[in-house]
Amino acid sequence: MSTSVGIMILFGSLVLLMLLRFPISFALGVASLFTGLYLGIPFFNLFQKMATGITSFTFMCVPFFIIMAQIMTDGGISDRLTKFSNVLIGRVRGGTALVNCLVSMFFGGISGSSIADVSSIGSFLIPAMVKEGYDADYAIAVTCTSSVEGIIIPPSQNMIFYVVAAGSGLSISTMFITGYLPGLLLTVALMAVSFIIAIRKKYPISEKKSWKENIVIIREALLGLVTILIVAVGIVAGVFTATEAGAIAAVYALVITMFVYKTMTMHKLMQCLMKSLKTLGTIMAIIATSSAFSYCLSYLKVPTLVANTLMSISSSPAVGMLLMIIMMVILGCFMDMGILLILLTPILYPVAMSFGFNPYHFGLIMVLTLGLGLLTPPVGTSLWAGCAIANKPIEKVIKGFLPFYVTYIIVLVLIVVFPSISLSLPQALGYAV
């Protein structure tokens, strides 16, 4: 049995099944079974790895965060956060664009998903911005790029994917905490470039509201913000684990939307749970089969081969990181971010460790780098969603993205060069990093 043939079977069957439009979980599982059959790996070992992947305590926080996000979205909390953001910063030049960036930061603390951000917030903010007099390409660019804040601001599903795929006993709570300062940096950077463009193009100032209206908006929004604070403060202060924070936040969101806002009915709750179950089922299947796929990668020593190849090019950690980032950027143009995290983490994580990188710092770099793929054609799911909402073709709006691409890359470079941006907060709080 040849290792090279095993690698060809593993990746060849995966690519073939993906090209045939099979679900990624099915493609990962079948590729692992074909490879195991060739290598003589007992199927019991693969199934055991699949079961282990979804029964770990680390994974337990996922269903709670999914339910919490769905309740908050369907319960109208995201709408209240938008109005709250408008009260804070809406009365400046290009205020609606700044609101877009800020509410995406808040929404990142709810959904942890870029596509969810664009689909929900963008559905009313993009048309609103165009109606106010903003150019369509600018409105789409602001919405899509700011939505990526959600992939690094906890609770981030993508960070959970990274921790599970790394399989090295990493802490979800610590991984979450590394995302707060970089998420804030990205938000401020995107707001800055949005404001500069708004000044140059003389975009409008948002309509002024009365003090009475503002007080009502703030009071209602603060109740919803407590849900985010339960996750953020609870984890940061060490009061809750990520799993406990997700469970408590989900219960709190249900109480607020059902008994205070009164926007959540039993019928709507059942719909929320059904939507959450569908999402959870998809994620569980991907994580289970990716665990078997990772086992085959380790068995074939693929991470070692990749590490040796990169080190043969250069033993410099800086060059190694640059090569890995280039690889992730290129692949991100053609494959979905979640899939790439599942596939690349078992390969690149050991490589990064051999170069001496911090596992949490590398995880943040990996998530942020792959997040760029959400904004770039041809796959860019967030880009496509924004264009679909505005009913504009990508080729007509891509020029508006250029200043935001540059800003995004500058933030990524800063985070790579200065690890303290991501590691200083968990270190200050006494977390082992």
Across 267-283, average pLDDT? 86
| Weakest-pLDDT range from 23-32, 106-115, 385-394 | 106-115
Q: Quick check: helix, strand or coil at residue 82?
A: helix
> What does the pLDDT look like over 4-44, one tens digit per residue?
899 999 989 988 998 888 888 888 899 999 999 999 988 88
- Strand (E) or helix (H) holding 168: none
pLDDT for the residue 415: 96
Residue at 371 is within a domain? yes
> pLDDT over 70 for what percent of the chain?
96
**Distance between terminal CA atoms of the chain?**
40
Q: Which two tokens stand for residue 119?
A: 């689909």
- What domain range includes position 261? 3-428
pLDDT for the residue 57: 67
pLDDT for the residue 58: 62
Please report the DSSP string for 273-333 in residue order: HHHHHHHHHHHHHHHHHHHHHHHHHHHTTHHHHHHHHHHHH---HHHHHHHHHHHHHHHHT
Q: In the chain, how many domains are there?
A: 1
Whole-Å CA distances, 206 to 84, 195, 323, 379, 386: 13, 13, 44, 34, 22
CA distance 255 to 264: 9
Residue at 433 is within a domain? no
Residue at 357 is within a domain? yes
Winning range, highest mean pLDDT, from 224-228, 301-305, 404-408: 404-408
Residue at 414 is within a domain? yes
Kindly report each contact of residues 239-247 with a partner whose C-beta sits within 8 Å and lies 24 or more positions away, as own/partner. Answer: 241/61, 241/172, 241/173, 242/61, 242/154, 242/155, 242/172, 242/173, 242/176, 243/57, 243/60, 243/61, 243/64, 243/172, 245/61, 245/155, 246/61, 246/62, 246/63, 246/64, 246/65, 246/68, 246/155, 247/64
| Weakest-pLDDT range from 70-79, 167-176, 288-297 | 70-79
Q: Which two tokens stand for residue 137?
A: 């390409």
pLDDT for the residue 55: 75
Q: How would you class 268 by CB atoms within 10 Å of its CB: exposed for 0-12, middle for 13-18, buried for 19 or more?
A: middle
Winning range, highest mean pLDDT, from 225-229, 264-268, 355-359: 355-359
Which residues, in sequence order, are CB contacts of 134 under 8 Å at separation 6+? 94, 96, 97, 203, 204
> What does the pLDDT look like over 52-69, one tens digit per residue?
777 766 667 778 888 887
CA distance 15 to 5: 15
Across 344-369, average pLDDT? 93
- Is the confidence at residue 365, as pLDDT, over 80? yes
CA-closest candidate to residue 116, choices 242, 268, 349, 279: 279
- The sign of the CA dihedral 206, 207, 211, 212 is negative
**Counting every residue, how long is the chain?**
433
Q: Quick check: helix, strand or coil at residue 205?
A: strand
State the chain's mean pLDDT as an integer.
85
| Weakest-pLDDT range from 76-85, 111-120, 143-152 | 111-120
Residue at 407 is within a domain? yes
Q: What is the DSSP letter of 256?
A: I
Q: Are residues 358 and 419 in contact, defined by beta-carbon separation less than 8 angstroms?
A: yes
Q: Which two tokens stand for residue 303?
A: 């991470």
CA-closest candidate to residue 384, choices 134, 148, 127, 119: 119
CA distance 92 to 203: 10
- Is the confidence at residue 45, as pLDDT, over 80? yes
